[in-house]
Structure 1
Amino acid sequence: MTNPVSMALGPFAFEAIGFHYDGLSRSVNTSWSDIEVAQRLNAQQWLGPTSDEVTIKGVLFPFEFGGQDSLDGVISAAEAGEPLMFVGGDAAAGMVYGYHTIQGVEEDRSFIDRAGVARRNAYQIKLKRYEGEVEASGVVGSLLSLLG
């Protein structure tokens, strides 16, 4: 039996047990320009959205529940510079956030055992919405070639 999946970043599924998350924050930024007007407050003109950023936070217990391989895969995708599709929610209320680039991954490994392996790994994945063209290469291309 597979674990319920509540969110996915490209091929990396965030599950209830294993590679999971316990927090998500989002920041949507827009730009306004001030237009000087005599003898009253400046008028404002909306210039449009400038960024849509997401931070995913979680804690892995690799020895007990796994998940480290998926986080390592996210890091590899970040190093490859691939935009990935980001989706969340459940079957009743799913949300497609669109393509995102991985801006950074932070790990905080602790409770190191005698073999030097971390038994706990707190992480943050920072994403930014991507509006450019997406090529079917790397991880995404591999998945598409399997389906095609």
Structure 2
Amino acid sequence: MSGPTPMMLGSFAFEAIGFGFNGLQRRVQTPWADIAVAQTLNQQQWTGPTSEEVTISGVLFNEEFGGQDSLDGIIAAANAGVPLMLVSGSESAGVIHGSFTIQGVSEERSFIDHRGAPRKNSYSITLKRYGDTGGGSSFFKPIFDLFG
């Protein structure tokens, strides 16, 4: 690895040098349903969280620092339909964010050299939280909440 690893998606490490990232955006959907009430404003009922999306953006300079193999591996995982665990933080204070599916990967390759290879590759990875398949919350969630 090339320096500290501030985040991992499955086995793919986002590193300080190489396959790094420069931004992360998070969007959580928690809708409320309108309940019609006669002769007054509609009341609202919370229906619970419906989705969580994370977008990771970064720039690769493959010729100088590498990283294209990791991005290609993430694209392969997306094509295989494999949910991946998202973890951030350091070895001593890591945060497990849960499993996410890869909804899409965009690349913008530029500064093409004489061999046709890009010297710069801007990318964006869109993830969506992979819901529980057991129909309920995780058995360990209350335990993790104690330490969160």
Residue aligning to 1:121: 121
- Partner of 1:49: helix, strand, or coil? coil
In the alignment, structure 1 residue 4 sits paired with structure 2 residue 4 = yes
Note the C-alpha offset of 1:2. 4.2
Residue aligning to 1:75: 75
Q: Is the 8 A contact 2:2 2:17 kept in 1?
A: no
Counterpart CA distance in 1 for 2:23 and 2:105 is 15
Counterpart CA distance in 2 for 1:35 and 1:104 is 35
* Structure 1: 5+ residue stretches without partners: 134-148
Residue aligning to 1:49: 49
Residue aligning to 1:21: 21
**CA deviation profile, 1:28-87 (whole Å, cap 9, x unmatched):** 001211111122211111111111000000000000000000000000000000000001
* Structure 2: 5+ residue stretches without partners: 134-148
Counterpart CA distance in 1 for 2:2 and 2:24 is 23
Residue aligning to 1:99: 99
Counterpart CA distance in 2 for 1:120 and 1:97 is 29
Residue aligning to 2:38: 38
Structure 1 runs of 4+ with >4 Å offset: none
Give the percent of matched residue pairs that are identical in Structure 1 and Structure 2.
63
Residue aligning to 2:60: 60
- Give the residue type in structure 2 aligned to 1:104: G
- Give the residue type in structure 1 aligned to 2:26: R
Counterpart CA distance in 2 for 1:2 and 1:20 is 10
Note the C-alpha offset of 1:132. 4.2
Note the C-alpha offset of 1:94. 2.2
Alignment TM-score, normalising by the size of structure 1: 0.86
Residue aligning to 2:136: none
- Partner of 1:110: helix, strand, or coil? strand
Counterpart CA distance in 2 for 1:89 and 1:69 is 23
Cα-Cα RMSD: 1.2
What is the number of equivalent residue pairs in this alignment?
Answer: 133
Alignment TM-score, normalising by the size of structure 2: 0.86
